[in-house]
Amino acid sequence: MNASTSHTDYRQLHQRSITDREGFWLETAAELDWDSSPTAAVDASNAPLYRWFPDGQLNLCHNALDRHIAAGRGDCTALIYDSAVTEGSRSYTYAELRDEVATAAGALAGLGVSPGDRVLLYLPMIPQAVIAMLACARLGAVHSVVFGGFAAKEIAARIDDAAPDTVITATGGIEPTRRIEYLPKVAEAVQLAQHGVRDVVVVDREGFETSLDSAAATTSATSPAVQWHDWHQLTTQAEPADPVTVDATHPLYILYTSGTTGKPKGVVRDQGGTAAALQWTMPSIFDVGPDEVILCASDVGWVVGHSYIVYAPLLAGATSVLYEGKPVGTPDAGAFWRMVEQHKIKSLFTAPTALRAIRKADPEASLVADYDISSLQYLFSAGERLDPETQRWIGQALDVPVIDNWWQTETGWPIAANPVGIQQLPVKEGSATLPMVGYEVEVLDPMGEPLPAGQEGNIAIKLPLPPGTLHSLWGDDDRYVDAYLSAFEGYYTTGDSGYIDQDGYIYVMGRTDDVINVSGHRLSTGEIEAAVAEHPAVAECAVIGLADELKGQRPAGFLVLKSGAEIDHQRLREELVAHVRATIGPVADFKEVSVVEALPKTRSGKILRKTMRQIADGQDYTVPSTIEDPAVIDALLPVLRGSAGAK
């Protein structure tokens, strides 16, 4: 058990984490194996760029694997791979997983990967994804995982920003009704990128059209320096690598999140702070410890997968379920309950989108009765706002507490949650409960002044952020400060709006910027707009996120055509949907297009996206006094209200 969980009053524990940061976090960090133990917790010498455990040295992979083996737990189960799409499964003990990771690390070292080098991963939900991430951490290399739904252009943008010499991918990913070829995307990305990739390592999976050899042939003319390798052959010939000691401030990974400019932001996290924070969260928030099982039904391409499929469960000595499948359709809406019974899952973590999909397919939750789910004690949900109706429905169906938690790619672990492993607090529907240790959360007005309880405003976190959060953006401290720290001096701006009630419970109501949340995936409307604007018939456009019962939000495009442009609207829609899919990927889920005469703007030219979104979602709205032409809003009303009902 984490030393800090011996407290029974969570509010007192949180207060201590704010007033005695040094003592609290050094005590928490002492649970880890350090090659050189830190004597200081937070380094404020370069504020507002704070660093954690500046004089400590360790290796996170050692703490996730080797440490447990040394404690005599090598035969305990570390990872269960459950593939509903291939009907295959495999379990790895801590010793088996350590051996696989050490060998993979040796293979990467043989390709010249060394501490600080970046490795880009474009992999489906297969064991090699977890193994590759841990292998990078073992070497002190910096992994950057790209979600498998992204297109070649997006992969290339990340290659250019992170500048990896090595890419690890697979022949493809498997969906319930189709197979997704990865190698054509990777080959195209390598050709598109300005940065030259040196090695591409391919995990071969049966049943895909594009082979390693054919992908290599594609790049031979334009990128002849790229060497293509087979994962199995490479690891079979490799010598195992030992963990490399690195500074606690050494980067662990880069994970890209959408920016409102359309250029992805490379969130960078370190080894030491991440290890300390995530180790604290497992017993404290999720009530999961050694030999207990957690299913995090996310993807390793997202931050939830990084934290709660890979790193946190293994740091805690628990068993993590790696699920390759969907909440419905593989084969039905009982997929999660089948795994609960089969693997004796204690805590299940998924997104509200998944719960709404299950409800749509099985509205009476009748499939729950087909399985013994007695091992399940908690259902955790994050990714977008958990609506009270869905929270009540799934809570009644499973007869377990449904715990909402709120966080971001940038924070890496929950900002607000119900710390059930310390003290299970009363659940309030619509609230993510209390701020977690180290997070000093306030709601500010536009001038940066704290607002009273119950009043909605900008949710901000007083600096310094706790360990395990981002300390900057990759290679761009100035953009980090501009994007997150400049709006309110001394605060990190979350970009979310909401309020805190009289009991200190946090209610997150929505985004304050133009980033939308589609099925838990944050996407920039500016990025989608840029793709739409490439069509020769489009003069200007606005993309907004509409409230969606199943997906949280869905993007809808409103277009003004160029003068004289003659094109069938259905054909235009089909062309735009195809182009956005090719440019950004299926993850954008862009399907709705409306042609309008004009877009509402301020006199300075800013499109009133928030007002459009409020109208479409049926919310109260006020037309800003700065609007250029109020008649444009009147003309748009039937279109926007019609979009709200479209599916």
Please report the DSSP string for 585-618 in residue order. -GGG---EEEE-S---BBTTS-B-HHHHHHHHTT
CA distance 141 to 153: 24
* Domain with 54 in it: 3-61+274-477
Work out whether strand 199-203 and strand 227-230 pair parallel, antiparallel, or are unpaired: parallel
* Same domain as 433, residue 540: no
* Same domain as 534, residue 456: no
**pLDDT surpasses 60 at 480:** yes
* Same domain as 335, residue 456: yes
Among 477, 504, 530, the domain boundary falls at: 477
* Same domain as 567, residue 420: no
Residue 555's contacts (CB-CB under 8 Å, 6 or more residues apart) are 516, 518, 523, 525, 528, 543, 544, 545, 546, 588, 589, 590, 592
**pLDDT recorded at residue 271:** 98
pTM: predicted TM-score of the whole model, two decimal places? 0.87
**pLDDT recorded at residue 404:** 95
Among 448, 477, 506, the domain boundary falls at: 477
* Same domain as 322, residue 396: yes
**pLDDT surpasses 50 at 112:** yes
* The total number of structural domains that make up the chain: 2
Which has the minimum average pLDDT: 115-129, 207-221, 266-280? 207-221
* Same domain as 379, residue 333: yes
Tokens 């920016």 belong to residue: 259
Q: Is residue 191 in some structural domain?
A: no
pLDDT band at 264 (very low <50, low <70, confident <90, very high): confident
Beta strands in 84-165 (DSSP E): 88-93, 118-122, 142-145
pLDDT band at 624 (very low <50, low <70, confident <90, very high): confident
Q: Is residue 501 in some structural domain?
A: no
Tokens 């536009």 belong to residue: 446
**pLDDT recorded at residue 259:** 58
Among 451, 477, 503, the domain boundary falls at: 477
Query: Mean pLDDT over all residues of the chain?
Result: 92
Average pLDDT over residues 444-464: 94
603 or 544, which is more confident: 544
500 or 533, which is more confident: 500
* Same domain as 413, residue 324: yes
5 or 592, which is more confident: 592
Q: Is residue 209 in some structural domain?
A: no
Average pLDDT over residues 184-199: 96
pLDDT tens digits for range 376-389: 999 999 987 787 88
**pLDDT recorded at residue 1:** 39
**pLDDT recorded at residue 387:** 79
* Same domain as 314, residue 425: yes
Q: Is residue 9 in some structural domain?
A: yes
* Same domain as 570, residue 468: no
Residue 314's contacts (CB-CB under 8 Å, 6 or more residues apart) are 64, 65, 68, 78, 79, 97, 134, 320
Tokens of 399: 């007869």
User: Could you tell me what percent of the chain has a pLDDT over 70?
Assistant: 96
* Same domain as 534, residue 412: no
Tokens of 31: 């649970």
Average pLDDT over residues 403-424: 96
**pLDDT surpasses 70 at 261:** no
Work out whether strand 199-203 and strand 166-170 pair parallel, antiparallel, or are unpaired: parallel
Are 24 and 17 in contact by the 8 Å Cβ rule? The answer is yes
**pLDDT recorded at residue 2:** 43
**pLDDT surpasses 50 at 138:** yes
Average pLDDT over residues 116-130: 98
Tokens of 24: 């609290």
Q: Is residue 155 in some structural domain?
A: no
CA distance 227 to 640: 51
pLDDT tens digits for range 10-25: 999 999 999 999 999 9
Q: Is residue 70 in some structural domain?
A: no
Are 286 and 378 in contact by the 8 Å Cβ rule? The answer is yes
**pLDDT recorded at residue 637:** 92
pLDDT band at 4 (very low <50, low <70, confident <90, very high): very low
Average pLDDT over residues 429-434: 93
What SS3 state is found at 89? strand
Answer whether the bond into residue 331 is a cis peptide, omega within 30°.
yes
Q: Is residue 530 in some structural domain?
A: yes
**pLDDT surpasses 60 at 646:** no
**pLDDT surpasses 90 at 484:** yes
**pLDDT surpasses 50 at 5:** no
Answer whether the bond into residue 388 is a cis peptide, omega within 30°.
no
* Same domain as 549, residue 441: no
| Residue type, position 34, single letter | W
**pLDDT recorded at residue 647:** 47
**pLDDT surpasses 90 at 604:** no
CA distance 21 to 464: 10
256 DSSP β-pair partners: 266
pLDDT band at 587 (very low <50, low <70, confident <90, very high): confident
**pLDDT surpasses 50 at 463:** yes
* Same domain as 462, residue 349: yes
pLDDT tens digits for range 54-110: 999 999 999 999 999 999 999 999 999 999 999 889 999 999 999 999 999 999 999
**pLDDT recorded at residue 645:** 56
Supply the CATH number for residue 545's domain: 3.30.300.30
517 DSSP β-pair partners: 522
User: Could you tell me what percent of the chain has a pLDDT over 90?
Assistant: 74
pLDDT band at 146 (very low <50, low <70, confident <90, very high): very high
CA distance 219 to 186: 10
Angle 196-201-202 from CA coordinates, rounded to 5°: 130
Supply the CATH number for residue 367's domain: 3.40.50.12780
- Write out the H or E segment, with its range, that includes residue 390: helix 388-398
pLDDT tens digits for range 274-316: 999 999 999 999 999 999 999 999 999 999 999 999 999 999 9
**pLDDT surpasses 50 at 642:** yes
**pLDDT surpasses 70 at 225:** yes
